[in-house]
Amino acid sequence: MSSNANILAFAGSLRAESLNKILLRTAVRAAESEGASVTTIDLADYPMPVYDGDLEAKIGLPESAEKLKALFTSHNGLLIAAPEYNSSITAALKNLIDWVSRKNGAPDMSGYQGKTAGLIAAGGGMGGLRGLVHVRQILGNIGVLVIPEQAVVPNARDAFDDEGNLKDEGRRTVVENVGAALARTLGKLHG
């Protein structure tokens, strides 16, 4: 059991019916079954302007960015369902990363350093794989250890049943493995 695993889970999408939000539930359940404590948030509940250094100098961190930074700081793991837009990371996810990396008008990676992350994606023909490459690279560059396990769900519009469960048992197992592996890794690192 990974009782020392404290995970912040979210999808990098603002859409209410995001397939990545639906996918996230599968990995969250698996992390919880390994004993992890998981806080799931919706980025739509944390509206922020596009990151702009001039705006930051004028107003500081927006209230939502302060709340998110506190959430990141209080968790030792991140479980991210990252949609792919135009072969890369979504604007919402990149904006979140940028705002959480700031404090008092300067870079501050305290919300990221020492964290461990697991990545999943639901998307089109490639399942979001190209976007995960960029997310992994960005997180690695700001001090986040990203576990090697990851999962993608191609053709996601047809991948879920009416209750939001993955129809394909093999695909479901791979997604569950990411949540479980993240919880186990955190348990070992923080045990």
Provide the token pair at 137.
């690279």
Mean pLDDT along residues 122-148? 96
Mean pLDDT along residues 115-140? 97
Distance in angstroms (rounded) separating the CA atoms of residues 38 and 140: 22
| Whole-number pLDDT of residue 191 | 84
Percent of the chain with pLDDT over 90: 97
Does the predicted TM-score (pTM) go above 0.75? yes
pLDDT band at 7 (very low <50, low <70, confident <90, very high): very high
Residue 56 has pLDDT above 70, yes or no: yes
| Whole-number pLDDT of residue 185 | 98
Domains belonging to the chain, first-starting first, are: 6-190 (3.40.50.360)
| Whole-number pLDDT of residue 127 | 93
Distance in angstroms (rounded) separating the CA atoms of residues 138 and 115: 13
Distance in angstroms (rounded) separating the CA atoms of residues 190 and 154: 34
The mean pLDDT value of the chain amounts to: 96
Q: Is the dihedral of CA 70, 71, 77, 78 positive or negative?
A: negative
Tens of pLDDT, residue by residue over 75-92, are: 999 999 999 999 999 999
Mean pLDDT along residues 129-134? 96
Mean pLDDT along residues 175-187? 98
| Whole-number pLDDT of residue 152 | 98
